Every structure is written in structure tokens, then in C-alpha cells.
Copies of this chain bind each other. A is one copy, B any other.
Amino acid sequence: MTKSATPAYQAQQWWHTDIIDMRPGEIRYRGYPIEELIGNVGFADMVWLMTRGELPNRPQAALLETALMSAVDHGPQAPSIAIARMAMTCGGSLNNAMASAVNVLDDVHGGAGEQAVELYQSILEYQAGGYTLEIAVQEGITTWQRERTKIIPGFGHRFHPVDPRGPRLLQLVEEAAERGEVAGHFVAIAREIERQLIAMKGKPIPLNIDGATAVIYAELGFPAPLARGLFCLSRSVGILAHAWEQQCQGGRNKGPLPKGWLWPYAGPAPRPVPPRA
């Protein structure tokens, strides 16, 4: 029996990875020894290396870092943040509160960035097929609304008439494009979507944080699902901060409303338990 056919080899192979190599006293990520990475690369570099396989150049790392730092928190009315705070009063540790909260960064709460990258990429494909930017965006929006949903991911906000993060992030991407650090295709697409949405709706449906960070992730070449994953990393910071603040404030079994408040009940009127058939 050759080594590769042994059950032991097969069991180990079941967990094979391209990310990390280890021997006693030695740890390498993507081939780089950890003791050389420490002190030489930053946290955003490490996020890139781990998810992409190579180190980014400095402008790439700077843009990634900007996307990560810009989406950390949107306050305790966001379900994820409220959940982190409530969880922290139930007796678990910060890791438990972070888990319950990150878990809800799903399609509706944390998935718009992933969807926006998909939309942007579909539009770039129309352009690659020979369409002008304007027509490609029209096709992209029409197809999205027909095949996915009426909601254009990454645009519009229920609270902010203009999300202050959107314009600032786009400006930074455009500056990077002018310096040749990114191609700038996706920022142009986002601008054109915004322009067409104004025409369609008769009012601004401005780029929101998911749409703006999706521009960065798309410019940097991240696959769409990682836009969600990176948002989870980013929002984990706000989740941690609020969980910790709640721990410092104290409290036990924090409900959504102050203690003593009750909800209205709209079910069947009081009734006795009947005999059973």
C-alpha cells in the first residue's frame, strides 16, 4: 500500500488546505513564515493574504483597510448590534455575543454588499460584450429586477437621505483610479447606477455603505461572497464595542424594551384547556 493510499493519509487529506502549513516550531501562511510577517505586514494585509493567497501592494491594502474601517457600526437599532448587547446580559462571554450577532448578518442585514458586487460584475460583463456604460447599467438593472428582486442592492437608505459614507468612499476610489492603483470600472458603474436611479425614481436613491464598500471590493478583485465575509469582519468591531459597553453598563436579561413594558397580545381570548379527542 503506497503512502497516499493509507487510511491515515486519507484522513489527513480530508483537511488539506492551501492556507497554512505547520510543523513543530514553524507556522507559515501561504508560504510566508509568521515571524517574518509579524512586524512587516498590517492587519488588512493579513486579511488579504489569508483570503486571496498573495500579499496586496500598499495601495490595495489601504483601500481594503478603508472599506473595513468604514462599516463597523450603525448603532443599536441595527439587529446585530442590539443582539450583541442583549446577549451580553444573559451571562455568556464576548465570543458568544459576537457569534449570535454575526450570525444575523445574513442576506437582508449583511448581504447587500455581496449582491452589489454581483450586480456590478454583471454590468461589467455587459460592457465587455460591447455595450456602453449607460446601456450596460440599464441591462444590469433590468435583469436584476427581473431575475432577483426589485431592490437594487447597495442603493437607498431607510434613514439617511444621503449616507455620509458613500460619497467619501467613492471619492477615495476615484483618487486611487486617477493614480492608476485600481481600474475604476466599478466606481463608474456605481455612479451611473445612481444617475439612472434618480431618473427612474424622480429622487436620489443614494449609494449606501454596502454599495460603496462593494465598489472597493469589486475594484480590488474580491469574489462577491467575500464582500459579505469582509463586512462580517468589519461589523464585528462594532458588535464587540457595543457588547463590551453593555457589559460595563451591567444589567441582566436585557429585553428590547425597558423592564416592566409588555407587548400587546392579539391571539385568542382567554379560554380553558378543552378535553382532547
**A positions within 8 Å CB-CB of B:** 6-47, 50-51, 53, 55, 57-58, 65-66, 68-70, 72-80, 82-83, 85-87, 89-96, 98-111, 158-165, 167-169, 172, 225-226, 228-230, 232-234, 236-238, 240-245, 247, 252-274, 276-277
In angstroms, Cα B257 to Cα A256, docked, is: 7
CB pair A86–B82 under 8 Å, yes or no, is yes
CB pair A32–B244 under 8 Å, yes or no, is no
Least CB separation from A28: chain B residue:
B270
Using Cβ atoms and an 8 Å threshold, which residues of chain B touch A253?
Answer: 78-79, 108-109
In angstroms, Cα B187 to Cα A53, docked, is: 33
CB pair A86–B72 under 8 Å, yes or no, is no
CB pair B18–A273 under 8 Å, yes or no, is no
What would 11 more interface pairs be, CB under 8 Å, given A46-B72, A82-B256? A12-B257, A14-B258, A16-B265, A22-B74, A30-B267, A32-B271, A43-B237, A55-B276, A95-B104, A96-B106, A108-B253
CB distance from A23 to the nearest CB of B (A): 8
CB pair A90–B110 under 8 Å, yes or no, is yes
CB distance from A163 to the nearest CB of B (A): 8
In angstroms, Cα B262 to Cα A21, docked, is: 9
Contact pick for A12, options B95, B240, B263, B273, CB 8 Å: B263
Using Cβ atoms and an 8 Å threshold, which residues of chain B touch A70?
Answer: 34, 37-38
Least CB separation from A60: chain B residue:
B277
Using Cβ atoms and an 8 Å threshold, which residues of chain B touch A23?
Answer: 262
CB pair B69–A38 under 8 Å, yes or no, is yes
Contact pick for A79, options B9, B11, B255, B265, CB 8 Å: B255
Least CB separation from A226: chain B residue:
B244
Using Cβ atoms and an 8 Å threshold, which residues of chain B touch A37?
Answer: 69-70, 273
Using Cβ atoms and an 8 Å threshold, which residues of chain B touch A31?
Answer: 267-271
Using Cβ atoms and an 8 Å threshold, which residues of chain B touch A265?
Answer: 16-18, 20-22
